[in-house]
Chain A
Amino acid sequence: DSGVTQTPKHLITATGQRVTLRCSPRSGDLSVYWYQQSLDQGLQFLIQYYNGEERAKGNILERFSAQQFPDLHSELNLSSLELGDSALYFCASSAKITGQGKYEQYFGPGTRLTVT
């Protein structure tokens, strides 16, 4: 168990809908990362937040947005869903600047999104 939690585990929704995925990082971790894993695109970085602020952006569509709240949990919002958005969405967190384990990211179990 990595200590990163994600809800829900599974989500089935229809095209055009909007969903919210939730992530709680490991205790004390300030950085949260979102990734999308699909068969055709592999594992792709979407966005990173650090202590409530956006820090880096990857291949995130304009229909997708994220935020990190004061309690450090993060939400990924996916709107106007398309069939191609079906994927496994992972959240990861990493430690504060100082201390051991400050470079690697610890992944949650993922949310499997199916768009029908």
Chain B
Amino acid sequence: AQSVAQPEDQVNVAEGNPLTVKCTYSVSGNPYLFWYVQYPNRGLQFLLKYITGDNLVKGSYGFEAEFNKSQTSFHLKKPSALVSDSALYFCAVRAASISSGSARQLTFGSGTQLTVLP
């Protein structure tokens, strides 16, 4: 079974400071990893993904994430936070292998509420 842990329910950061939202995962074989953002009363928006290759992936709105296989982590980062980044962030995983039906689905973490303070 695959799982995602987002250990922090809430992250507060001052505008202009760097931010990190943590994510660790468990999956059989190689992972495909994703970050999504959800604004109030909206659907989830795709931010970035790790499929293969460079461990540092860049995504929308200046966000990036670092894949660390040994630590089974995929932390989301941004060098300088904006008030408009305040939202709910979800990490998700699926197995790279699609040999089984359940492997195609995304498993999401519980979400981290990011608040950027002006």
**Residues of A bordering B, CB below 8 Å:** 2, 4, 33, 42-45, 48, 55-58, 90, 92, 103-110
| Chain A hits for B115, CB < 8 A | none
Residue of A at shortest CB range from B49? Answer: A104
Interface SS majority for chain A:
strand
| Chain B hits for A57, CB < 8 A | 101-102
- Residue B74 at the chain A interface, CB threshold 8 Å: no
| Chain B hits for A43, CB < 8 A | 44, 90, 108, 111
**How many angstroms from the CA of A45 to the CA of B111 in the assembled complex?**
15
**Residues of B bordering A, CB below 8 Å:** 32, 34, 36, 42-46, 49, 51, 90, 94, 101-111
**How many angstroms from the CA of A105 to the CA of B49 in the assembled complex?**
11
CB distance from A23 to the nearest CB of B (A): 11
**How many angstroms from the CA of A2 to the CA of B42 in the assembled complex?**
11
9 further A-B pairs in the complex, CB-CB below 8 A; given A56-B102, A109-B42: A45-B108, A48-B104, A55-B101, A92-B44, A103-B49, A103-B94, A105-B106, A107-B43, A108-B43
| Chain A hits for B42, CB < 8 A | 109-110
**How many angstroms from the CA of A42 to the CA of B44 in the assembled complex?**
13
In contact, B104 and A56 (Cβ under 8 angstroms): yes
| Chain B hits for A103, CB < 8 A | 32, 34, 49, 51, 94
**How many angstroms from the CA of A2 to the CA of B103 in the assembled complex?**
24
